[in-house]
Amino acid sequence: MSAIRNVLAGIAATAVSAAAFAVPVTVDVVGSDFNSPVGGANINYVDTDGVAGNEEIRWGTGSLQSGYRFDAAAPPAFTVETDTQFSLGNFTHFNYPITAGTAISSVQLDVVTDLTVDGQSISEGPFTFSFLHDETTNGCSPQPTCANDLINLSNLVSSDTFAVNGTTYTLSLLGFVQNGVFTEFFSTLENQTNTAQLIASFSAVTVPEPGTLLLLGLGLAGAGLARRRQA
């Protein structure tokens, strides 16, 4: 029985270890687009970076509009390893006094990328992230922090995964880093602009080859037969 256990342990280790190795991923963001806002009035989109999509959204009625902007960390392309945190880009919040009832409550950000994974070049996306927006009233007390508008991530994992050479990859959005501090949300004072880094990571899961699964099944069958003979 000990020999069978050793064989099974070796097969299981082989199946699992394939997912344990870090894989370099070269990232080049080729498009970012804010879309599908919920609520809000007088919504405008801005595209000034020469990259496909609207990297900025503004809303509200007032002398200045509130809004979000995303500036990708690439181009130029950069390389990260799986299970390693990195900055996907800078997320900016513009917070200005606007008329009550003209703010959004959420919005989506789509990110399209060119990737090089395991020696293979692919175009992937859009990776879709949702942001929840809390537009607080400005007449609250005590001031000033009670009037801060709050931004929160509603889903930390993108809606898209992709497969390369038998490995499935997922791009996860983990939260924000502002002034060196990590948080899942951040707030912005009235009449101010606030910028934080969007922190992400790639995870990888390798599906065992059919031959490995067959060997594991045979090993389990052999273990069951040995137990019956001993009984």
Cα maximum dimension of the chain: 85
Peptide bond into 208 cis (omega under 30): no
What is each CA distance from 164 to 113, 127, 148, in whole angstroms? 15, 16, 43
Determine which of 34-38, 127-131, 224-228 has the lowest per-residue pLDDT on average: 224-228
Among 37, 132, 21, smallest CA distance to 84 is for 21
At residue 12, the pLDDT reads 46
Judged against a pLDDT cut of 90, whether residue 114 lies above it is answered with yes
Separation between Cα atoms, residue 151 and residue 180, nearest integer Å: 18
Helix (H) or strand (E) holding 226: helix 210-230
pTM of the predicted protein model: 0.77
User: pLDDT band at residue 208, thresholds of 50, 70 and 90?
Assistant: low
